[in-house]
Structures are given as structure tokens and as C-alpha cells.
């Protein structure tokens, strides 16, 4: 893996080659990752894996057309060939009036914010194995746990660099540390599994292995002997570890590209009151040590905190430069890049802000409902907002979480779901998309 300075130099060198080959403009990205992981099961070492990858990608514009190409070879000869091939491809491509680099006057010119994303802590395979063993031991110690699917620990580093032909050059590095455990409770056909995990940039921010293991074991045991639920309209409460998916669906619908294609259920709803006024959703790419923090976007534009939903009202679309041109607007600093292809939209650390009541109070008036802890499948229509997903969790009876239930479906329409959504006060921020316990009234549950 190159250093940040070396990565920028390689990108700048590739852009210079492309311009010499005849490109009108272009940008180059360098993406590298390296990680080491250890997996244990039933106290024995099961797997040790080391992976490394680095790629450089080039996007060029010639006469209104564009082409993208990538390579894992960063040598001078390979970069010469990459540049000439990309220009030749662009000359054969159809013109696209919306393609192009970000507006030059919007590029990040100031020093990027310091986000503390890179932890110098090194963990050896022995250290990782010890962490995984401790997590699994804690999980297996929970009464009712009968087997293990294993525990794993990993550590890694990443680097992203971007250079453009109109004056931007930047890079940043990140580190990652993660720990997980997955165990089985019960015997025979009544067996149930569950898990717990954490992922952070800094090793010191990980929860203790005993906490992760115990949480995995207790979750698995709580799911034993699941019953069935009757079909009908009931209030549905989403556990925080699955509730974030609702914000993910909102994010996809707020993409400027989806709006430009007219393939979003939020079409013609810019500025609309979508949620109750108590709901605010923030996007903060500058959160220190945040899992989705970054100092600049995939087109060299500055990132900045903003409210995606302010007092229940949508504040505008998330746009890269191509979508902004299609919508006659300005890019919003939400472009993301891989090592090849055009940019796409993503956001920083998303948080649906906490409400004012506890989860217990949120459920207190529910005579009969469901509490969802796991969602299955991808039954969401991004064009209409229709929502239908398999689920498992627990019944809510007279305001209390009761017996485990499984093999049911929760369904509705995201517009209606957002309008009736209320939030509890138990927000924890560690996932990248974080929400408190969420309640949605009026959903349909399909069971027996």
C-alpha cells in the first residue's frame, strides 16, 4: 500500500498522462485496503486470513463523452497504457451532456478537517485470536447456548486518493477494528441463532469481548421456542439494529440520480413534510472517528454536516455533479467513488435523532403488536415505496415484550410508515446509520 503522498502523486501522474494522450479533462482515484482476520469456533482456531488490494482508476472526458478504466498495476508503463486506452475508449463512446467533473469553483481548497480516522495501533494475529476466543467464551457461557457458529476479530487499513485535471488533489487513510460472535441456542429443530458485533476505526473504541459475546448469547437464548403471530394491522416496533434500514431506504430515494430518472417514491416531494415534526435526521461526515466520515467527497468537493430531514421536512436531494446538471442544481458533496466507473451518491454518518420517551413508554399503549429484531429479504420497491419484508422478533402484549415469534412478514408503504413513525430516547451512535427504537403504527403483519 502506498503512502498518502505517494498515492496522490500516482493519481496526478495518471491525469497528466491522460491529458498528453488527448483527454480534455479527467480524474484519477487510488483505492487500497489491507486487513487481517482470525476466526475461532468452539475454542479452536478455524481460519486466519490476510488480504491486500490496491487499484488505480481513471475517468477521462473527450469531446463530451467519457470512459472509465482501472488497473492493479501502478507502474509507469501500465499508467501509460491505461491513459491511452481510456482516451481511445472515450473517443468511441456517445456524448453525454451531463457528464463532467465537479464545478471548479466548488472544489475543496482549504485544509481538510482532521477526523481522526487512522489508529496506529497494530494487532497481531495472536492478539486477534485472543479477542475472538474471549468473545466466544463469553457467548458460550450463557445458559441455554448449545453451539457456536464462531467468533472473529479483524484489523485493517485503507487509503483513498483523488486527483482531478482542474486542480484538486487529496488523500486520507483509515483504520478498522472489528469483533463479532455468533452462537446457537437450543437443540434439534428448535435451535435459534443470533449474533453481536462492533466495528470501529480505533481499537480503543471497541466494546470488551465479554460484552459482545454475552450479548450474542443472550439474544440467541431469547429467541428460543418462537411462536407464530396472527395476521392483521398492528403497531410494529423496530429494534435499533434493524431500524436503520428505514433511513437507508430514505437515503436511496433522496438520491438525485433516482430523482432524475424519475425512479424514486419521493418524486415531486422535495421540501415535503414526510415525518412528524419531532423527527430530525442528520448527516455528519465530519464526526470524529465516525465509520462513514470523510474530509472530501468522490469528486473533490468539501463535505459538510447537514439535516436531511428537519422537523419532519425533507431538505433537498443528495447529488453528485451529473445528477445536479440533470436537475439544474448544484452538487451537494455526496459523491462517492470506487476504483472504476462514475460517481454515485452516498452520505456520511446518519442519525435519526432521539425522541423524548423511553422504549417502554413508546410501547406502553400497545395491546397487541410486534417487536422486530431481524429483517429478511429485500422486498422494497424504490419507485412506489411499497415495503414487505420477512421478519422475526417478539410479540408485544399489553405494553410488554412477550414471547419470541418468527416466520412473519411486515408490510406497508414507506410514505405512510414515515408519517406515523415515532422515536424513543435510546439512541446509541456506533453503526454509521444510527436510530433509536422506532414505532410505526398501522403496518400489516402476515403470519398465520
**Per-residue DSSP letter, 385:** -
Question: What is the Cα gyration radius of the chain?
Answer: 24
Question: pLDDT-derived band of residue 195, with 50, 70 and 90 as boundaries?
Answer: very high
Q: For 46-91, how does the pLDDT look when each residue is reduced to its tens digit (9 = 90+)?
A: 999 999 999 999 999 999 999 999 999 999 999 999 999 999 999 9
- Whether the predicted model's global pTM rises above the 0.85 cut: yes
Q: How far is CA 54 from the centre of its chain?
A: 21
pLDDT tens by residue, 38-47: 999 999 999 9
Is 4-36+48-106 in CATH node 3.30.2290.10?
yes
Coil, helix or strand for 159?
strand
Sign of torsion, CA 399 401 406 409? positive
CA 145-150-155 angle, 5° bins: 135
Query: Mean pLDDT, to the nearest integer, of 161-173?
Result: 96
pLDDT reported for residue 26: 96
Helix or strand run (H / E) with residue 278: none
Task: Collapse the DSSP code of 396 into the 3-class scheme (helix H, G, I; strand E, B; otherwise coil) and give the result.
Answer: strand
Task: Report which of 149, 151, 145 is spatially closest to residue 220, judged by C-alpha positions.
Answer: 145
Name, in order, each residue with C-beta under 8 angstroms of 153's C-beta and a sequence gap of 6 or more.
37, 38, 123, 128, 129, 131, 132, 135, 178, 179, 180
Give the separation between CA 164 and CA 375, rounded to whole angstroms: 41
pLDDT, averaged across the chain? 95
Find where cell 399503549 sits. 365
**Distance in angstroms (rounded) separating the CA atoms of residues 199 and 195:** 14
Q: What is the mean pLDDT of residues 236-252?
A: 97
Which residues, at least 6 apart from 345, have a Cβ–Cβ distance to it below 8 Å? 255, 256, 257, 318, 319, 320, 323, 334, 335, 336
Region(s) of the chain under CATH 3.30.2290.10: 4-36+48-106
pLDDT at 190: 83
- pLDDT at position 338 over 90: no
Amino acid at each position: 500500500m502506498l503512502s498518502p503522498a505517494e498515492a496522490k502523486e500516482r493519481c496526478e501522474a495518471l491525469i497528466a498522462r491522460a491529458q498528453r494522450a488527448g483527454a480534455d479533462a479527467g480524474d484519477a482515484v487510488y483505492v487500497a485496503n489491507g486487513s487481517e482476520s482470525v476466526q475461532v469456533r468452539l475454542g479452536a482456531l478455524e481460519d486466519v486470513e490476510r488480504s491486500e488490494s490496491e487499484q488505480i482508476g481513471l475517468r477521462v472526458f473527450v469531446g463530451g463523452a467519457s470512459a472509465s478504466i482501472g488497473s492493479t498495476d501502478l507502474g509507469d508503463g501500465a499508467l501509460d497504457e491505461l491513459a491511452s486506452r481510456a482516451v481511445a475508449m472515450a473517443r468511441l463512446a456517445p456524448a453525454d451532456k451531463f457528464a463532467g467533473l465537479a464545478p471548479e469553483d466548488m472544489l475543496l481548497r482549504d485544509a481538510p478537517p482532521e477526523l481522526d480516522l487512522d489508529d496506529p495501533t497494530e494487532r497481531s494475529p495472536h492478539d486477534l485470536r485472543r479477542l475472538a476466543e474471549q468473545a466466544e467464551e463469553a457467548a458460550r457461557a450463557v445458559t441455554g447456548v448449545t453451539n457456536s457458529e464462531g467468533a472473529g476479530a479483524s484489523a485493517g487499513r485503507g487509503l483513498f486518493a483523488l486527483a482531478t485535471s482542474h486542480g484538486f488533489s487529496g488523500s486520507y487513510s483509515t483504520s478498522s477494528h472489528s469483533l463479532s460472535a455468533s452462537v446457537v441456542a437450543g437443540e434439534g429443530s428448535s435451535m435459534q441463532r443470533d449474533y453481536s458485533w462492533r466495528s470501529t476505526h480505533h481499537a480503543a473504541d471497541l466494546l470488551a469481548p465479554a460484552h459482545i459475546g454475552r450479548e450474542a448469547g443472550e439474544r440467541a437464548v431469547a429467541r428460543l421456542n418462537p411462536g407464530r403471530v396472527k395476521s392483521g394491522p398492528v403497531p410494529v416496533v423496530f429494534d435499533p439494529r434493524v431500524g436503520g434500514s428505514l433511513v437507508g431506504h430514505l437515503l436511496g430515494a433522496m438520491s438525485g440520480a433516482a430523482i432524475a430518472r424519475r425512479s424514486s417514491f419521493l418524486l415531486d416531494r422535495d421540501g415535503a413534510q414526510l415525518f412528524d415534526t419531532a423527527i430530525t435526521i442528520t448527516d455528519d461526515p465530519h464526526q470524529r472517528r465516525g465509520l462513514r466520515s470523510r474530509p472530501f467527497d468522490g469528486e473533490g468537493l468539501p463535505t459538510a454536516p447537514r439535516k436531511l430531514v428537519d422537523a419532519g421536512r425533507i431538505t433537498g436531494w443528495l447529488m453528485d455533479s451529473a445528477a445536479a446538471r440533470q436537475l439544474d442544481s448544484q452538487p451537494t458533496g455526496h459523491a462517492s467513488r470506487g476504483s472504476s466507473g462514475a460517481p454515485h451518491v452516498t452520505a456520511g454518518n446518519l442519525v435519526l435523532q432521539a425522541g423524548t420517551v423511553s422504549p417502554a413508554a413508546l410501547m406502553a399503549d400497545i395491546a397487541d403488536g410486534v417487536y422486530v429484531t431481524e429483517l429478511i429479504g429485500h422486498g422494497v420497491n424504490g419507485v412506489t415505496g411499497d415495503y414487505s419484508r420477512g421478519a422475526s422478533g417478539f410479540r408485544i402484549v399489553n405494553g410488554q415484550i412477550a414471547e419470541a415469534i418468527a416466520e412473519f412478514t411486515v408490510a406497508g408503504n414507506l410514505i405512510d410508515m414515515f408519517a406515523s413513525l415515532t422515536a424513543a430516547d435510546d439512541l446509541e451512535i456506533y453503526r454509521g446509520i444510527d436510530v433509536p427504537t422506532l414505532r410505526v403504527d398501522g403496518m400489516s403483519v402476515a403470519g398465520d
